[in-house]
Structure formats: C-alpha cells, structure tokens
Amino acid sequence: MNRRNHGIRDPFAHEQVRIRTGPRSGLPVIVAVHSTVLGQAIGGCRIASYAHWQDALTDALRLSAAMTEKTAVAGLPNGGGKTVVALAPGAVLDRPDARGTGTGLDRRGVLHDVADVIAGLDGLYATGPDVGTDPTDMNVIAERTRWVFCRPPEAGGSGDSSTHTATGVVAALGAVCDAAFGSPTMGSRRFAVVGLGRVGAHVARHLAVAGAELVVADIDPTKRHLADELGATWLDPDDALRAEVDVLVPAALGGVFTPETVPLLRCAAIAGPANNQLDEPGTAALLHERGILWAPDFVVSAGGVIYATAVELHHETTEQAVGRLARIGDTVAEVLATARHTGTTPAAVAHQLAARRIEAAAAQRAHDPGRPVAAGTTSGRPGP
C-alpha cells in the first residue's frame, strides 16, 4: 500500500509546492500545499522581504505545515497551506490606490500573479490575509480566483480576521494565567507584547482595558504612540523579549525562541499569535527545562481561521463564529493540563492531538480513496 506521510512527523513532507516567477511582477510566488487530508488546505498569503528567495521557500514550507496542525487542533475540516511572495530586502509594494505616485512595485500585479497560481490548484487550497496583506488585497486576488477568505464584508467576505485572532489569543492568555498562576484574571499581571501589528495591537488594547501592566515593542518606531495611548512601557523588541514579566506575548515574525534566546528569558509563561515562534521543534524542550510554560502557537493563533471558516464556509452568524473563539481557551487549558499530568511538553501534547485527528481522517480516506478533497464554497459564491 502506498503509505503517505501526513506531514506531522516530517514537517517538510508536503503534498505539493508550486513556485513560479510571477509574469507581471517578476517576483517568486510560492504556494505550499502541506496537507489536504482533513479537507481543502487553507493559509494566508505573506508578502515579505527575504535575503534569498530560498528563505521564502523555507518559510512557506514551515508555515504551511503549521497551518495543518492549526486547523487540525481547532477541529476544522481543513488542511494546511501557505502562500509566500518574496520581496527583495527593502522593497515595498504600492497600494492599489496609490498607483503612479509611489516608487514601489505594482501591488495589483503581484496579487494577480498570486491568484493565478492559486487558481491553478483547482480548489485544493484557499488563501487569506497574513503578514503584508489585508482584506483589500484579498479582493484583488478574488478578481482571478474564488479561493480566497476574508474579503471585505461589503464584497461578501468575512473581513479582517485580526480582531478574531486577537480574541482567541486573549482566551488563550486566560487559560495560561490560570495554569501558571492559579487564576485566569489578567488585570493583576504583567505582560510584554512583542509586535504591534494588527493582531498584537488588539491584544495589547485588550490587556490594557483589563488593567494589566504592559510592556510593548515593535521594530517600527512609529508604533510608539500606542504605548503612550495604553499607558504601556515602550521597549525595543530585544529588550521586551527579555523583560521580567509574567507572560510574554510574541506577536511579530517567527523564530524568536532559539537555544541562544531561551536562557535570556525572564517570563513565567509564553502565549502569542506569531506563527512558528520556535526556531525548531526541539526548542520546546528547552523552554520546558527552564520551567517556562509555552502555549503552542498553532493552538493560540487559530482565531482567524476559525472565524473565517465559520462565517464563509459554514454560514454562521458573527455571534456564532465569535462564540467559537472562547474554545481556544478550553483547548489551551486541556493541552497544558495533559502536559502537566503526563510530564511532557505542551508542544508534544498539541502535536499528538493534531496527529490523531489527521491519522483518523487518513484512515477514513483509505476506505474511500476516490473521495475528492472537500473544497469549501467561500461566501456562497457560485462555482467557477
């Protein structure tokens, strides 16, 4: 029998990866479909600078594998994928409404290049927003393929997912505080939010409203006004990472926890929305050895996909979809409790949970190998 690797033990075993130089933009467009065992692969479109396009490929492979675990742990009938467009260091894209005025690359051309690669996958994969893209961009991609989540509500999509991702993170933070300090109350605790992008800023605002003591950081100095607005201490990201806090909230790019940075940490627990926070899976054990509770990123950051799929695929109301986000707190609580009882890391428990769900689906599929991938029907739009 042809035994497929479902990508959990080997995170680099992908179903397919398409790499194409966009004919309009001349940029490398990478779409990695990690797994469709649970259903249509979903994952955002990242447009970011990389020293070499091969670094963007590595990122796409790791981010898509993480999406497979994110959707599996969230109990969604979807697999994992990701799109990455590699910009040269320092390159910027114009906004569509700023054409002719900027000096950057034509954004619309880049997005149409992305759309054509996705369209070529015939519904095996659908994209959404990620670092460097937003709902307006999803609308441009939707001009050439229907496999797009999170278009603006006026265009029939579920809109910006970042507030929902943040709501899920806050639910996770409650569970983490409960496990680490015996109470889910956040008002009496000290947090460091590292990264004030769309999700990080929402989380910081929520924590400030809850009365928490806050340290915030971003590589972009223009974000400092938010620190003043929230009465937070502003630090540069490296110092914020090492700040003495109860909970560290990584909300920027991945790879922040490494054998070099783990010994410098002065937090009791970590939970945040950044994808792929660990440089490699083994770093979870280093955090564990230091007695730092790490809530796995792919569990904590699922709010955006949970909300978008609930509204666009399952036609739930906003209230119903938002209601699902609280369950992220329950899942984090379960993962942390199981890890404590079994003496393993929360990461190991969450990986096993994802693997169990994917293996069960794979076993079911083995009985019916002809079953097509259940592609979603985003926003009830007609088929192609």
Per-residue mark of binding to ligand PHE, 97-136 (x: CB under 6 A): -------------------------------xxx------
| Residue least distant from ligand PHE (Cβ) | 128
Quickly count: other Cβ atoms within 10 Å of residue 183's Cβ: 11
Number of residues that bind ligand PHE (CB under 6 A): 14
Q: Is 254 in the site for ligand PHE (CB under 6 A)?
A: no
Q: Distance between the two ends of the chain, CA-based, in angstroms?
A: 35
Between CA 196 and CA 185 the distance in angstroms is 23
Between CA 14 and CA 230 the distance in angstroms is 43
Q: Is 157 in the site for ligand PHE (CB under 6 A)?
A: no
- In this chain, which of 252, 305, 325, 328 binds ligand PHE, going by CB under 6 A? 305
Of 225, 203, 349, which Cα lies nearest the Cα of 284? Answer: 349
- In this chain, which of 7, 28, 43, 157 binds ligand PHE, going by CB under 6 A? 43
Amino acid, single-letter form, for residue 10: D
Residue 306: CB minimum distance to ligand PHE, A: 9
Q: Is 80 in the site for ligand PHE (CB under 6 A)?
A: no
Q: Are 378 and 127 in contact (CB under 8 A)?
A: no
Q: Is 167 in the site for ligand PHE (CB under 6 A)?
A: no
User: 189 or 324, CB closer to ligand PHE?
Assistant: 324
Q: Is 277 in the site for ligand PHE (CB under 6 A)?
A: no
Residue 324: CB minimum distance to ligand PHE, A: 13
- In this chain, which of 42, 247, 248, 299 binds ligand PHE, going by CB under 6 A? 42
Between CA 166 and CA 48 the distance in angstroms is 22
Helices (H) and strands (E) in the chain, counts: 13, 12
Taking CA 30 as the corner, what is the angle to CA 28 and CA 31, rounded to the nearest 5 degrees? 155
Find the helix packing angle between 198-209 and 162-181, rounded to 10°.
50
Is 223 catalytic? The answer is no
Between CA 258 and CA 285 the distance in angstroms is 11
Q: Is 40 in the site for ligand PHE (CB under 6 A)?
A: no
Q: Is 83 in the site for ligand PHE (CB under 6 A)?
A: no
Three-state SS at 359: helix
Between CA 118 and CA 80 the distance in angstroms is 14
- In this chain, which of 27, 37, 169, 308 binds ligand PHE, going by CB under 6 A? 308
Residue 162: CB minimum distance to ligand PHE, A: 9
Residue 110: CB minimum distance to ligand PHE, A: 17
Enumerate binding residues for ligand PHE (CB under 6 A).
Answer: 42-44, 128-130, 149-150, 161, 275, 301, 304-305, 308
Please identify every residue annotated as catalytic: 82
